[in-house]
Amino acid sequence: MKKSVIFTFFFTLITLQLLAQNELIANIYQRNTISLDGSWKYIIDPYENGYYNYRYQPFDQQESPGNGAFFNNAKPKSPADLVEYDFDQMNDIQVPGDWNSQKKELLYYEGTVWYKKSFDYSKSEKNGRLFVYFEASNYKTEVYFNGKKLGTHIGGFTPFNFEITELVKEEDNFLVVKVDNKRLKEGIPTLNTDWWNYGGLTREVRLVETAKTFIQDYFIQIDPNDAEKITGSINLNGPNSNNQSVEIKIPNLGITKKLKTDQKGQVDFTITTKNITYWSIENPYLYDVSIQTQEDQTTDQIGFRTIRTEGSKILLNNKPIYLKGISIHEESPLKGGRGHSKEDAEKLLTWAQELGCNYVRLAHYPHNEHMVRLADQKGILVWEENPVYWTISWENQNTYENAENQLAELIARDKNRASVIIWSMANETPNSPARNIFLKKLAKYTRDKDPTRLISAALEQKSYKDSKTIRTIDDPFAEVVDVLSFNQYIGWYDGLPEKCETITWKIEQDKPVLISEFGAGAKHGLHGDKNARWTEEFQEDLYIKTIAMIDKIEKVQGFSPWILVDFRSPRRVLPQIQDGWNRKGLIAEDGQRKKAFFILQKFYEWKK
């Protein structure tokens, strides 16, 4: 059998396993956890020698994989034993963190790296359960614990967990993780992207201790049809999950509600109250919410608000709002590489607030949980995006299931965050029958999972009836979304900034319009004529003219220019200007503001 055929078979097999993973545990942020962050041992394995034998057969699908399988963490039992690796003699790498920015020799590396962490564990007297939880790992991750395979996860930006209750020991546990960040045609995202393909255990890894029967999940929000009702559902996991008593408390609303789960361990509820302080940009009020059972308890801080559209308006708590936004990539403004820390999120969102933003677009994939938690506290509205980007394999069913699974994991993590108002299905995808079926199916799935938020996608604009001066959106998916969003680069990829003065827009759909991207590249500190590309003056002039053009579009309810900070991209190779960086940021990678930053800041100060 040819290698390509074998690869396709195993990719299909792994994709089919996606939905068989352990259900995601909600609110890890505030549960009892033990961090596995810090130094891990690693092995670079470009030939995947520790995963396949010389016949290209996976070791983890053989009854006796032997010493060649890296996940066994084998040690010679005698001088005659052949073991051709030793994690404990390898170098250290920091988790969380990508390997590209930590190791110079791995800057452009795409392939497999093995991670190993050893630890002891004192079992709780409560005789509960134990899970290992990964906040994210890019991209395909195989997880082994004490030599046993726990499972596979595909997707670089969403959390996943596996139970290890029956496998953990008091001493000498070892967690081995194979991370492969090779880009795939069948992948989500696909082969071609305009950001750095950071590989590794890029976010935190934790041990999560739970009761034998624990609170698996919950979804608590304002009833979208009645702002005086709080509705929700709670799911338990364990042998005593059915017919179990559950109590929900919201002290500042005087709410104590006793419930009982059904045979599936779930309970739905509705609570009527007239005294809700609604979460808003001006007053991002968060309620302490407690859920308790006989065995378990969890608490969260949840804001209650409504979000809907009415004609061309976006209504937050039934009041029109103009979204003064910016797009953000998940790169660390403090030390470079993939961002992951609360400090990273604090810096990025503080810069957005200094710019005057009340809204951020987290592109082009789910960012870390700190971003949305802090947005809840700061009163910043959030667009979250599934990494369906540019041209993917629309007709591949496994690709669709991958996209749906990543979106499901994002919704599971962030569905209780008041700041999140938009789920984005895709970015700049070309119109085709297969693509339309794919995205419509994804949108329906999202609405079924969460009917309380808006759906959008970053579409592309085109000429209106072959006009050279009138633009529009002509896309079947525009009929599906709640908010009509599109990217446009008039003045950068399409003519020069002066062209903005000649373009008008005709939007026929009766929906709110967001300009999800516009911008121009500029190297910080490079000054010159406003018609000279890469100068700060060129970028400044484009912002002046683009804002004037956009502000004349009748149905526009906001925009999120591209982008807050310069970010790494292998596509950007112009020497002495780009040097591997996308220069469309309003802030340089060293934190210095460019002239266009102040143009947008001034507009946002003026715009009500």
The CA distance from 172 to 573, in Å, is 47
Q: Are residues 297 and 328 in the same domain?
A: no
Residues 422 and 563 in one domain: yes
Q: Examine the domain organization and report whether 543 and 423 are in the same domain.
A: yes
Residues whose CB falls within 8 Å of the CB of residue 551, separated by 6 or more in sequence, listed in order: none
What average pLDDT does this structure show over 28-34? Answer: 90
Q: Is the pLDDT at 84 greater than 60, yes or no? A: yes
Torsion (CA) 243, 24, 453, 425 in degrees, nearest 10: -140
Average pLDDT over residues 515-529: 98
Which pLDDT band, with edges at 50, 70 and 90, does 463 fall under? very high
Exposure string of 448-479, with b = 16+ CB inside 10 Å and e = fewer, is ebbebbbbbbbbbbeebeeeeeebbbebebbe
Residues 25 and 99 in one domain: yes
| Long-range contacts, 490-499 (Cβ 8 Å, 24+) | 490/518, 490/546, 490/549, 491/520, 491/542, 491/545, 491/546, 492/519, 492/520, 492/521, 492/542, 496/531, 497/530, 497/538, 497/541, 497/542, 497/544, 497/545, 497/546, 498/545
* CA dist., res. 49 & res. 263, Å (int): 47
Distance CA 284, CA 302 (A): 10
| Predicted local confidence at residue 22, as pLDDT | 79
Query: Looking at the structure, do residues 44 and 114 belong to the same domain, yes or no?
Result: yes
Q: Is residue 574 domain-shared with residue 485, that is, in the same domain? A: yes
pLDDT-derived band at 32, boundaries 50, 70, 90: confident
Query: At 111, which CATH number?
Result: 2.60.120.260
What does the pLDDT read at residue 584?
98
What CATH number should be reported for the domain holding residue 599? 3.20.20.80
The last residue of a domain, from among 271, 305, 339: 305
Q: Which of 210, 241, 266 is the last residue in one of the domains? A: 210
Q: 574 and 560 in one domain?
A: yes
Mean pLDDT, residues 440-465? 96
Are 204 and 98 in contact, with CB atoms under 8 Å apart? no
What is the reported pLDDT for 384? 98
Distance CA 110, CA 512 (A): 41
CATH number of the domain to which 234 belongs = 2.60.40.10
| Same domain for 249 and 183 | no
Residues 318, 379: Cα–Cα separation, whole Å? 17
Domain ranges, residue 113:
3-210
Spatial separation of the C-alpha atoms in residues 330 and 156, rounded to whole Å: 12
The total number of structural domains in the chain stands at: 3
Give the residue among 400, 229, 215, 391 at the shortest CA–CA distance from 304. Answer: 229
Q: Residues 317-356: pLDDT tens digits?
A: 999 999 999 999 999 999 999 999 999 999 999 999 999 9
Count helices and strands in the chain by DSSP H and E runs:
8, 33
Q: What share of the chain is helix, strand, coil (3-state, %, to 5)?
A: 25, 30, 45
Please write the tens of the pLDDT for every residue from 407-431.
999 999 999 999 999 999 999 999 9
pTM of the predicted structure, to 2 decimals: 0.94
> How much of the chain exceeds pLDDT 70, in percent?
96
Enumerate residues 6+ apart whose C-beta is below 8 A from 112: 44, 45, 46, 48, 50, 51, 178, 179, 180, 182
Q: Helices 536-550 & 595-606, crossing angle to 10 degrees?
A: 20
Q: Both 316 and 256 in a single domain?
A: no
Q: What is the DSSP letter of 103?
A: -
Asked if the model's pLDDT at residue 5 lies above 90, the reply is no
**Both 280 and 336 in a single domain?**
no
Please check whether residues 418 and 372 belong to one and the same domain: yes
147, 175, 210 — which closes off a domain? Answer: 210
Q: Is 103 exposed, middle or buried (0-12, 13-18, 19+ CB in 10 A)?
A: middle
Residue 188 pLDDT class (50, 70, 90 cuts): very high
Say whether both 451 and 402 belong to one domain: yes
